[in-house]
């Protein structure tokens, strides 16, 4: 992977962590299989188009462009990496009160050198190389980011920091502020703490690929401040974070040092210059409380099965484990309202996924699939003519990436279809 491609992926990952909860659901990437609520912020599932432009890497110097608005989404091009368009910086008085300076076409400019200077002031002793900033080139970017290679004399590690300024309401709903679900995102250690000034700090220690081809460790500190700041510092024990060989046993910064960087006052000026970002209501907006999804699923499960270890953090998505005494099985359910998308005069983006599905008497389209073995998962998903979409996935393991606990999922394909097609799933009035 080239340096530019590497940076584009890291940019998409870091910038989408906070914006993911508000992203539109109109890209083809979102339409492939289940939109996993607790995996959505991971970089390989978070590309959302912003006016069709590409986020480009800029080594060394350059400028972060922070647009005052997002462009319309266009069709998905898998050849490019892009940043989310689901967040819009507040305009007018809101931007002015945030202390942001505006450039051409309402863009706020934060030079890469300033972000790097702030980062270096917060880092412990060590050498910095491989500096990369971000140049928007027309892409609406609502934060600042820089990534470097850092060497404390014990081996080079990759380090990235992103700085964002969100409204209080948006910040309260931002992902990454609590420890992830172990069934979905396994980790070695994670702790969330409320600091004396009221800010919330989450320290995470895990792996880039929990069951993947490389043993790269990924540690991070995420800080949510009362002034709307959202700062994430992420580090790896390799010169690159995706598949590169490890250069040291652990990433270069300890948890205390990560905390020091995330909580440093050197970010104050940058945060004040970024306009406060507010969430947009997306097309196909999910309106189904996660607790309601679990309660409905519980009524639809075969006799003797009940949800356990439930995750209801994200409306429109829930997961839980079921066990028939022969091994645990993870179940994920998405329930979405696609009426707005189906009503678009230019055509629906969701319909294509179901073009080859089984057409039912009521006009619904059903798609079934079976993937993998150890572990593996079975899927039943339906798009009703009225715009309701229900996706149900059952695994033959207790969590993603975990070893199989049984030969097949607890739920059979017929039981999965019965859950997905149940009339108990209803669109809101």
Q: What is the pLDDT along the chain (429 residues), one digit of tens a residue?
A: 444 444 444 444 444 333 333 222 322 223 323 333 333 323 322 222 222 222 222 223 333 333 222 222 222 122 222 222 233 333 333 333 333 333 333 344 577 888 999 999 999 999 999 998 765 434 445 678 899 999 999 999 999 999 988 876 565 555 557 788 888 888 889 999 999 999 999 999 998 876 666 678 999 999 999 888 999 999 999 998 777 889 999 999 999 999 999 999 999 999 988 888 765 545 455 678 999 999 999 999 999 999 999 988 888 899 999 999 999 999 999 999 998 888 888 777 888 889 889 999 999 999 999 988 777 899 999 999 999 999 999 999 998 878 899 999 999 999 999 999 999 999 877
Do 335 and 265 lie in one domain? The reply is no
Do 275 and 295 lie in one domain? The reply is no
Instruction: Note whether residue 92 is domain-resident.
Output: yes
What's the pLDDT score for residue 161? 93
Q: Does the N-terminal peptide bond of residue 375 adopt cis geometry, omega within 30 degrees of 0?
A: yes
Do 216 and 346 lie in one domain? The reply is no
Instruction: Note whether residue 285 is domain-resident.
Output: no
Instruction: Note whether residue 284 is domain-resident.
Output: no
Instruction: Note whether residue 428 is domain-resident.
Output: no
Do 176 and 304 lie in one domain? The reply is no
What's the pLDDT score for residue 141? 56
Do 134 and 164 lie in one domain? The reply is yes
Out of 279, 310, 331, a domain closes at 279
Which of 232, 200, 175 lies closest to 22, judged by CA? Answer: 175
Out of 258, 279, 300, a domain closes at 279
Q: Which structural domain range is residue 312 located in?
A: 290-420
In this structure, what token pair is assigned to residue 23?
């992203």
Number of domains, the chain: 2
What's the pLDDT score for residue 171? 59
Out of 248, 279, 310, a domain closes at 279
What's the pLDDT score for residue 27? 29
Beta bridge partners of 359: 365
Do 240 and 332 lie in one domain? The reply is no
What's the pLDDT score for residue 277? 74
Instruction: Note whether residue 429 is domain-resident.
Output: no
Instruction: Note whether residue 425 is domain-resident.
Output: no
What's the pLDDT score for residue 276? 80
Do 394 and 343 lie in one domain? The reply is yes
Which of 386, 379, 302, 306 lies closest to 36, judged by CA? Answer: 379
Instruction: Note whether residue 51 is domain-resident.
Output: yes
3-state secondary structure the chain: CCHHHHHHHHHHHHHHHHHHHHCCCCCHHHHCCCCCCCCCCCHHHCCCCCCCCCCEEEECCCEEEECCCCCCCCCCCCCCCCCCCCEEECCCHHHHHCCCCECHHHCEEEEHHHHHHHHHHHCCCCEEEEEEEEECCCCCCCEEEEEEEEECCCCEEEEEEEEEEECHHHHHCCCCCCCCCCCCCCCCEEEEEECCCCCEEEEEEEECCCCCCCCCEEEEEEEECCCCEEEEEEEECECCCCCCCECCCCCCCCHHHHHHHHCCHHHHHHHHHCCCEEECCCCCCCCCCHHHHHHHHHHHCCCCCCCEEEECCCCCEEEEEEECCCCEEEEEEEEEECHHHHCCCCCCCCHHHHCCCEECCCCCEEEEEEEECCCEEEEEEEECCCCEEEEEEEECCCCCCCCCCCCCCCCCHHHHHHHHCCCCCCCCC
Q: How many CB atoms lie within 10 A of CB 318?
A: 28
Do 44 and 147 lie in one domain? The reply is yes
Do 192 and 340 lie in one domain? The reply is no
Distance (Å, rounded) from C-alpha 49 to C-alpha 27?
Answer: 7
pTM of the predicted model as reported, rounded to 2 decimal places: 0.63
Instruction: Note whether residue 427 is domain-resident.
Output: no
What's the pLDDT score for residue 285? 56
Do 296 and 207 lie in one domain? The reply is no
Do 245 and 315 lie in one domain? The reply is no
Do 221 and 164 lie in one domain? The reply is yes
């Amino acid at each position: 992977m080239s340096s530019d491609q590497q940076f584009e992926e890291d940019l998409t990952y870091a910038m989408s962590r906070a914006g993911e909860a508000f992203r539109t659901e109109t890209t083809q990437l979102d339409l492939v299989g289940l939109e996993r609520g607790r995996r959505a912020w991971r970089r390989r599932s978070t590309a959302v188009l912003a006016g069709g432009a590409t986020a480009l890497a800029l080594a060394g110097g350059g400028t972060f462009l922070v647009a005052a608005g997002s462009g319309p989404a266009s069709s998905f091009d898998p050849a490019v990496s892009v940043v989310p368009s689901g967040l819009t910086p507040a305009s007018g008085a809101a931007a002015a009160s945030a202390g942001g300076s505006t450039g051409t076409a309402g863009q706020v400019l934060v030079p890469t050198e300033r972000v790097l200077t702030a980062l270096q002031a917060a880092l412990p002793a060590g050498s910095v190389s491989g500096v990369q900033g971000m140049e928007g080139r027309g892409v609406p970017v609502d934060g600042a980011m820089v990534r470097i290679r850092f060497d404390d004399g014990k081996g080079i590690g990759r380090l990235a920091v992103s700085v964002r300024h969100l409204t209080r309401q948006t910040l309260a709903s931002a992902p990454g502020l609590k420890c992830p679900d172990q069934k979905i995102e396994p980790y070695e250690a994670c702790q969330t703490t409320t600091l004396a000034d009221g800010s919330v700090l989450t320290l995470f220690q895990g792996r880039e690929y929990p069951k993947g081809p490389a043993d790269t460790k990924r540690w991070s500190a995420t800080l949510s401040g009362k002034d709307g700041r959202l700062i994430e510092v992420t580090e790896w024990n390799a010169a690159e974070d995706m598949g590169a060989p490890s250069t040291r046993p652990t990433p270069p910064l300890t948890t205390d040092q990560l905390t020091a960087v995330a909580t440093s006052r050197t970010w104050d000026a940058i945060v004040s210059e970024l306009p406060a970002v507010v969430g947009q209501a997306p097309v196909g907006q999910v309106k189904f409380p996660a607790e309601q999804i679990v309660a409905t699923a519980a009524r639809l499960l075969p006799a003797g099965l009940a949800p356990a270890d439930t995750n209801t953090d994200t409306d429109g998505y829930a997961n839980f484990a079921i066990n028939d005494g022969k091994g645990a099985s993870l179940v994920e359910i998405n329930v979405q309202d696609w009426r707005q998308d189906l009503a678009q005069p230019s055509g629906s983006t969701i319909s294509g996924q179901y073009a080859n599905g089984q057409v039912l008497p009521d006009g619904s389209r059903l798609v079934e699939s079976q993937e993998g073995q150890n572990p593996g998962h079975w899927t039943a998903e339906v798009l009703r003519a009225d715009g309701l979409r229900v996706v149900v996935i059952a695994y033959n393991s207790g969590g993603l990436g975990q070893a199989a606990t049984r030969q097949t999922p607890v739920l059979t394909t017929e039981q999965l279809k019965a859950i997905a097609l149940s009339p108990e799933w209803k669109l809101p009035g």
